[in-house]
């Protein structure tokens, strides 16, 4: 999940992903270009949650857009599948990830 200066929205999105029924999930939040004040707010809000929060300001300097942030996050991911949820989105159905994975597994390789 790419995010920048929207900690409360990102928390809502993260919680919607964590509530999914599919148990084997990894949540990576790429904080890209947030102010120092908001970086601290993210850290406070995410404290104790089972996620990886990466502050790209510390890794690569200034923010560089959500596409590069997502690609950086993919590079950190350990799973066989990747799903995206923007910081201003919510996965409303608790079975969104499980249903999506079932569809992916049914697809034939190209």
pLDDT at 99: 72
pLDDT at 67: 86
What one-character-per-residue DSSP string does 58-96 give?
A: HHHSS---HHHHHHHHHHH--SS------TT----STTH
Class of domain 2-106: alpha beta
Residue 84, both tokens: 């995206």
Which tens digits make up the pLDDT trace of 33-67? 899 999 999 999 999 999 999 998 766 555 577 88
For tokens 């569809």, the residue is 103
């Amino acid at each position: 999940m790419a995010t920048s200066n929207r900690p409360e929205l990102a928390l809502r999105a993260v919680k919607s992903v964590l509530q999914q029924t599919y148990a084997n999930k990894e949540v990576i939040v790429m904080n890209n270009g947030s102010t120092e004040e908001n970086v601290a707010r993210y850290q406070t809000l995410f404290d104790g949650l089972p996620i990886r929060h990466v502050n790209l300001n510390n890794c690569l300097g200034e923010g560089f857009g959500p596409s590069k942030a997502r690609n950086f996050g993919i590079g950190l991911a350990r799973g066989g599948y990747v799903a995206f949820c923007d910081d201003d989105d919510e996965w409303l159905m608790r079975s969104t990830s499980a249903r999506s994975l079932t569809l992916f597994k049914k697809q034939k390789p190209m």
